């Protein structure tokens, strides 16, 4: 099926873009005419990786010693090293201004607005850095953070990074067990926390959880608490963030560390066991995230970058990196639909965001609620990014019809494993409904069949990366024999990164992701991506959301579809018939579910991803673990009690 052309950048936008500027510099130096051809530029970037990454370092004005060893090759994929003799300080590369312009602005669900200037940000980072030194923290010590998405969190992270400590955060909607499952593995010495937070109109206490956490993680010797509302200080005996700022001296020196020095630890979010601890390097994350922001998303100095995220999702790390572009970042903490459906759109309008980043499910929800945003003044908005799950064609079209006609809608996909993107957008190519525009520069992706053969356009297969790239993990924590990193990415194909997304290349040279490959359905041995079914089902007026799994049945797999209905809607025989008919017509007879049932809620991770695998395991009588990864674990009870 031909996907609809929705947007192309005009000549002025292309001419003034960072990607055009970067391509012109490469053209002049290497005598290559790219002629606004992104694919030609990408081809050069993957065939000349040392030149590409070296040139991008210079173009991005990365602060530090670049060194001479751009890539040190190894026959083992994940042992290739980038910039092995370079020295940088991550925080130094983000604290690049020292003026009175706003660096970070924060809006909290209860209506509190706060901001900090670049000058104030530097001063506060220096003071927290000095305090961490004073209490004896040194390079490689771990700092854990159980915190909302607020200014103090960014300050604390940058202070940790400045000192060469390793940061790890999770959002306060994690319960005690979820916190312990993550942080206990890395043995942090310090815990940052907030006294409380708001979500969906409710004030939720965090302080009362800290004693239990400290009992179970004895490595924590110091707790630093900041106040959600400075005019409403909760009483406690822990170190107070604001008092540290008042009494600490500034430590303004930036010690530079190895490019591959660990900067933070992120966690796998699945429900198949205790979360794996994924360690990312400082330079590795910086150069990839800055490339994505500046080149692919065209973020420039003084832009205003927003992403709706929590501190437990890698998009928080990604957004913070926008400071390295000289852009201001805008934070939001709370429900994206409280107190009203348009709270984020109003935030965008009032503060003149240039980039508005959300999860695909946010856009889907606005679409399902028939929200029209054309009355809002979004004239400064250049880019909307969407990630977390596939954005279907209808949701692309919804954005252009109901949010903004002239905007670069960039569907992006990568993940915690790469703390960035493998496929992403750019202003040189057009936007087609349902498609991610392009591979990320410097990253050689391919689509393979189960035997490891490259497959043609319009056929679905496994997303892989064929050559090493900077932002692969430095290591997994507690993985001395490397079994964790090998099993995560290198079991399916020999020395090729297997990303476990089920993907297709289109005639437009774009990409469509059909879900996680470990959640694909195989009735009769034929492989079907879950997103193919969701697209059909969620177009029904009666249906809010859906979940589909494969259940073992009679030595085969049958498709079972669950639908969450809108209020006062009923799953009757006629609706079931219409659902099956639409799936049969627009997909194939093999896609048609054997069973369709309504459910009260759809289980999801805290970053909003539907957890098909957990439900599949329940229906196939298999054990699931790590339900603390879920935002709504109570939703699983329906499936546990179901008999089909």
Q: Give the residue from 457, 475, 505 where a domain finishes.
A: 505
Q: Is the pLDDT of residue 271 over 60?
A: no
- Write out pLDDT tens, residues 198-221: 999 999 999 999 999 999 999 999
Q: Give the residue from 475, 505, 535 where a domain finishes.
A: 505
Q: What is the CATH number of the domain that holds 525?
A: 3.30.300.30
What's the CA gap between 521 and 560, in Å, rounded? Answer: 10
**pLDDT value at residue 527:** 74
Closest of 369, 401, 400 to residue 544, by C-alpha: 369
**pLDDT value at residue 109:** 95
- Asked whether residue 514 is assigned to any structural domain, the reply reads no
- Asked whether residue 61 is assigned to any structural domain, the reply reads no
**pLDDT value at residue 523:** 80
Strands 304-307 and 420-424: unpaired
Stretch 507-513: mean pLDDT, rounded? 95
Element (H, E) at 24: helix 18-30
Q: What is the CATH number of the domain that holds 198?
A: 3.40.50.12780
- Asked whether residue 373 is assigned to any structural domain, the reply reads yes
**pLDDT value at residue 626:** 67
- Tokens representing 394 are 């209808």
Residues 6+ apart with CB under 8 A from 644: 551, 560, 595, 597, 619
Q: Residue 482 region, left (φ>0) first, then alpha (ψ -120 to 50), else beta?
A: left
Q: 477 and 537, same structural domain?
A: no
Is residue 459 exposed (0-12), middle (13-18) or buried (19+ Cβ within 10 Å)?
exposed
What percentage of the chain reaches a pLDDT higher than 70? 98
Q: Is the pLDDT of residue 444 over 90?
A: yes
Q: 426 and 323, same structural domain?
A: yes
- Asked whether residue 100 is assigned to any structural domain, the reply reads yes
Q: Is the pLDDT of residue 538 over 90?
A: no
Max Cα separation, the chain? Answer: 71
627 band by pLDDT with thresholds 50, 70 and 90:
confident
What's the CA gap between 78 and 472, in Å, rounded? Answer: 7
Give yes or no for a contact between 261 and 281, defined as CB atoms under 8 angstroms apart: yes
- Write out pLDDT tens, residues 305-335: 999 999 999 999 999 999 999 999 999 999 9
- Tokens representing 84 are 């092995």
- Asked whether residue 1 is assigned to any structural domain, the reply reads no
- Asked whether residue 132 is assigned to any structural domain, the reply reads yes
What's the CA gap between 424 and 463, in Å, rounded? Answer: 14
More confident residue, 105 or 628: 105
Q: 432 and 546, same structural domain?
A: no
**pLDDT value at residue 1:** 56
Stretch 424-432: mean pLDDT, rounded? 98
Indicate the SS3 state at residue 216: helix
Q: 485 and 439, same structural domain?
A: yes
Residues 6+ apart with CB under 8 A from 390: 360, 411, 413, 512, 513, 514, 515, 531
The partner residues of 511 in beta bridges, in order of sequence, read: 436, 505
Q: 535 and 493, same structural domain?
A: no
Closest of 312, 300, 91 to residue 197, by C-alpha: 312
Give yes or no for a contact between 224 and 244, defined as CB atoms under 8 angstroms apart: yes
- Asked whether residue 76 is assigned to any structural domain, the reply reads no
- Tokens representing 506 are 């289109």
**pLDDT value at residue 238:** 96
605 band by pLDDT with thresholds 50, 70 and 90:
confident
How many folded domains does the chain comprise? 2
2 band by pLDDT with thresholds 50, 70 and 90:
confident
Q: 311 and 270, same structural domain?
A: yes
Q: 475 and 367, same structural domain?
A: yes
- Asked whether residue 184 is assigned to any structural domain, the reply reads yes
Q: 496 and 368, same structural domain?
A: yes
Indicate the SS3 state at residue 290: helix
Q: Is the pLDDT of residue 269 over 70?
A: no
Q: 238 and 198, same structural domain?
A: yes
Give yes or no for a contact between 286 and 83, defined as CB atoms under 8 angstroms apart: no
282 band by pLDDT with thresholds 50, 70 and 90:
very high
Per the structure, the complete domain to which residue 543 belongs is given by 520-640
Give yes or no for a contact between 633 and 627, defined as CB atoms under 8 angstroms apart: yes
Q: Give the residue from 505, 537, 557 where a domain finishes.
A: 505
- Write out pLDDT tens, residues 333-360: 999 999 999 999 999 999 999 999 999 9
Q: 579 and 492, same structural domain?
A: no
Q: 581 and 479, same structural domain?
A: no
Cβ burial 218-233 (10 Å sphere, 16+ → b, else e): ebbebbbbbbbeeeee
Q: Strands, E, within 227-373: which ranges?
A: 239-240, 257-258, 262-267, 277-281, 304-307, 328-333, 355-359
**pLDDT value at residue 273:** 65
Q: Is the pLDDT of residue 8 over 70?
A: yes
Stretch 173-192: mean pLDDT, rounded? 93
What percentage of the chain reaches a pLDDT higher than 90? 83
What's the CA gap between 328 and 320, in Å, rounded? Answer: 9
In three-state form (DSSP H/G/I as H, E/B as E, the rest C), the secondary structure along 75-133 is CCHHHCEECCCCEECHHHHHCCCCCCCEEEEEEECCCCEEEEEHHHHHHHHHHHHHHHH
Q: 567 and 422, same structural domain?
A: no
**pLDDT value at residue 17:** 98
What's the CA gap between 465 and 257, in Å, rounded? Answer: 28
């Amino acid at each position: 099926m031909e996907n609809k052309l929705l947007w192309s950048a005009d000549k002025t936008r292309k001419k003034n873009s960072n990607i055009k500027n970067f391509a012109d510099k490469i053209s002049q130096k290497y005598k290559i005419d790219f002629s606004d051809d992104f694919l030609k530029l990408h081809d050069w970037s993957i065939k000349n990786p040392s030149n590409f990454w070296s040139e991008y370092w210079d173009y991005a004005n990365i602060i530090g010693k670049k060194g001479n060893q751009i890539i040190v090759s190894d026959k083992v994929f994940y042992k290739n090293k980038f910039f092995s003799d370079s020295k940088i300080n991550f925080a130094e590369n983000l604290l690049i201004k020292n003026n009175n312009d706003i660096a970070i602005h924060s809006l909290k669900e209860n209506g509190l607005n706060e901001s900090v200037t670049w000058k104030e940000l530097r001063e506060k980072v220096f003071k927290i850095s000095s305090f961490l030194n004073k209490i004896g923290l040194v390079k490689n010590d771990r700092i854990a953070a159980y915190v909302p998405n607020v200014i103090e969190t960014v300050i604390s992270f940058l202070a940790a990074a400045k000192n060469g400590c390793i940061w790890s955060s999770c959002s306060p909607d994690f319960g005690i067990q979820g916190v312990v499952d993550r942080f206990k593995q890395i043995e942090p010495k310090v815990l940052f926390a907030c006294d409380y937070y708001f979500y969906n109109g409710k004030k939720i206490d965090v302080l009362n959880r800290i004693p239990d956490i400290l009992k179970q993680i004895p490595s924590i010797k110091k707790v630093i608490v900041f106040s959600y509302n400075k005019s409403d200080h909760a009483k406690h005996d822990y170190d107070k963030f604001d008092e540290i700022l008042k009494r600490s001296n500034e430590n303004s020196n930036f010690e530079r560390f190895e490019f591959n020095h660990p900067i933070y630890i992120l966690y796998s979010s699945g429900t198949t066991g205790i979360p794996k601890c994924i360690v990312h390097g400082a330079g590795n994350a910086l150069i990839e995230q800055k490339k994505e922001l500046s080149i692919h998303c065209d973020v420039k100095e003084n832009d205003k970058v927003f992403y709706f995220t929590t501190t437990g999702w890698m998009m928080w790390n990604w957004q913070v990196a926008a400071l390295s572009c000289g852009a201001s970042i805008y934070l939001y903490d709370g429900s994206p639909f409280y107190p009203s459906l348009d709270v984020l759109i109003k935030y965008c309008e009032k503060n003149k965001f240039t980039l508005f980043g959300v999860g695909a499910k946010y856009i889907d929800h606005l679409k399902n609620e028939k929200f029209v945003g054309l009355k809002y003044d979004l004239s400064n908005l250049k880019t909307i990014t969407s990630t977390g799950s596939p954005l279907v064609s209808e949701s692309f079209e919804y954005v252009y019809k109901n949010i903004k006609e002239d905007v670069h809608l960039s569907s992006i996909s990568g993940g915690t494993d790469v703390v960035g993107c493998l496929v992403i957008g750019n202003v040189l190519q057009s936007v087609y409904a349902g498609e991610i525009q392009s591979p990320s520069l410097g990253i050689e992706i391919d689509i393979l069949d189960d035997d490891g053969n490259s497959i043609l356009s319009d056929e679905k297969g496994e997303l892989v990366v064929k050559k090493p790239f900077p932002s692969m993990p430095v290591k997994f924590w507690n993985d001395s024999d490397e079994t964790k990193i090998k099993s995560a990415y290198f079991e399916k194909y020999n020395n090729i990164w297997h990303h476990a997304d089920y993907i297709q290349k289109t005639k437009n040279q774009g990409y469509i992701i059909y879900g996680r490959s470990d959640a694909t359905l195989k009735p009769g041995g034929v492989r079907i991506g879950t997103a193919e079914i969701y697209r059909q089902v969620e177009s029904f007026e009666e249906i809010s959301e859906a979940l589909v799994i494969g259940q073992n049945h009679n030595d085969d797999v049958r498709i079972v579809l669950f639908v969450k209905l809108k209020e006062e809607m009923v799953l009757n025989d006629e609706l079931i018939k219409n659902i099956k008919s639409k799936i049969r017509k627009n997909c194939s007879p093999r896609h048609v579910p054997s069973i369709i049932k309504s459910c009260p809620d759809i289980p999801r991770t805290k970053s909003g991803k539907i957890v098909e695998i957990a439900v599949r395991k329940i229906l196939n009588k298999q054990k699931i673990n790590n339900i603390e990864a879920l935002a709504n674990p109570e939703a699983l009870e329906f499936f546990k009690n179901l008999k089909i």
